Amino acid sequence: MADNQKKLVVLTGAGISAESGISTFRDSGGLWEKHRVEDVASPSGFARDPRLVWRFYKARYLQSLEVEPNPGHYALVQIEEQLGGRFTLVTQNVDGLHYRAGSQRVFEMHGRLRTAFCTACNTKKDMSELDLELDIPICPNCRAAMRPDIVWFGEIPYYMYEIESALKDCSVLMVIGTSGAVYPAAGFVMTAKYMGARTICVNLDRPDNMIFVDEFHKGKAGEILPNLVEPLLNSLA
């Protein structure tokens, strides 16, 4: 700990979004919403068939606009309002539901569905500013192809320095709706634990890295998190 103030880091995964109606990351067959991962979530897939990739992400973007944050998202907003700068939220989700719920200090490590960037000049635009009727949206500045602002397999997640710094400086790490199987996020619990933090997990199933978890709450985030707000804040007072 860099100072005497207790700090909380929260990591969320697909489970919290699933409760709002967002499809989970991939099924047991290794498919990502009925597509092979390498076809829709890799630089090589985009180079091979950008139209397919854009069809996939435009559908996911439009789906994200039709769902709403759930009580789990709002419970985290409530915690952030009390802790302020002592709160850091890291999410593996790209749906933007944390922002829509009102969270401010969010690191979207895998990118976001609501933006895209130019493959030539790196201009970033909101999806709402692009012509999504086109098979491949084009950059309004240089007319090159845009690509979804998503971190694909083989690419480095966003904000890794900030996330690692927060993990090394936190008193409590709470992991919500993630299996603990996908790196680098799977290593966050181990990092925080080794640095002396208390680790809490809220998930439908026991995580793969349960050995590093101090406290496990089995169930839905939307049902469990509202009841954890007060005791968690008291432990960080």
The catalytic residues are 110
CA distance from start to end of the chain = 15
Distance in angstroms (rounded) separating the CA atoms of residues 65 and 95 = 9
Structural element, H or E, at residue 54? helix 50-66
Distance in angstroms (rounded) separating the CA atoms of residues 46 and 153 = 12
DSSP 84: G
Structural element, H or E, at residue 195? none
Distance in angstroms (rounded) separating the CA atoms of residues 14 and 23 = 8
Pairing type for strands 198-203 and 215-218 reads parallel
Structural element, H or E, at residue 201? strand 198-203
Distance in angstroms (rounded) separating the CA atoms of residues 133 and 127 = 11
Distance in angstroms (rounded) separating the CA atoms of residues 116 and 110 = 13
Distances (CA, A) of 213 to 12, 71, 210: 15, 23, 5
Give SS3 for 36: strand
